[in-house]
Amino acid sequence: MRWVLPVATGLVVGLAAHLVAILIMPYQAPADAWARIATLGPANTVVMVPPAVADSELMPFLDPAFATAACRYDLAAGPLKLRVPVTADYTSVSFYTRYGQAFYGISDRAAGRKVIDVDLMTPQQRALLPSDEEITAADRLIVESPSNTGIAIFRALVREAGARPAIEGLLVRATCGPAN
């Protein structure tokens, strides 16, 4: 029975070390999604993500049935306006923090329009907005980012391979720039 305490202590310490390593991994990864998307273009612009190819994906778990574009955003200079034209089949916009934590997503079905139109800002920037009773939630979709930097991912379903150029042409028309 003298071995129970050392074994239990070893298991608890090992489990704690394992959990700490897993939790800090997103903050220590040198080639995370943010860094890889940075190679495609500057912040606050929409860039096309190359289609998924085995063993050479820009981002992990890309679905080859979707055309994907991304906007690395930086809200330090002020709020951004994102406009994404929708396709006939399915279009979505997902928002992630700099370290990959998802905090908001919307699809064309939820937006109910021909364009997904989002104002992206921090809670502090939203607090500075004038309160206007004539502008309702249906008129303006405001998404609060928990941090100044992050990634917006635009995805559009490509029903058949021949439609990919047209779908990518729609995603290229998406905008991610200063809100005026």
What are the Cα distances from residue 82, in Å, to 12, 28, 59, 90? 47, 29, 21, 17
Q: Which residue has the tokens 């090992």?
A: 14
Give the pLDDT score at 106: 92
- pLDDT tens figures, 55-92: 767 777 788 889 999 999 999 999 999 999 998 889 99
The answer on 35 and 20 residing in a single domain is: no
Mean pLDDT value across residues 20-30: 75
Please give the tally of structural domains in the chain: 2
141-144 and 115-121 beta bridge pairing: parallel
Helices (H), the chain: 4-28, 33-38, 108-111, 123-127, 164-172
| 35 or 124, greater pLDDT | 124
109 plus 21 within the same structural domain: no
Domain that holds residue 132: 31-178
* Angle 33-106-49 from CA coordinates, rounded to 5°: 30
Do 17 and 37 share a structural domain? no
Indicate whether 89 and 156 sit together in one domain. Answer: yes
Residue 36: per-residue pLDDT: 81
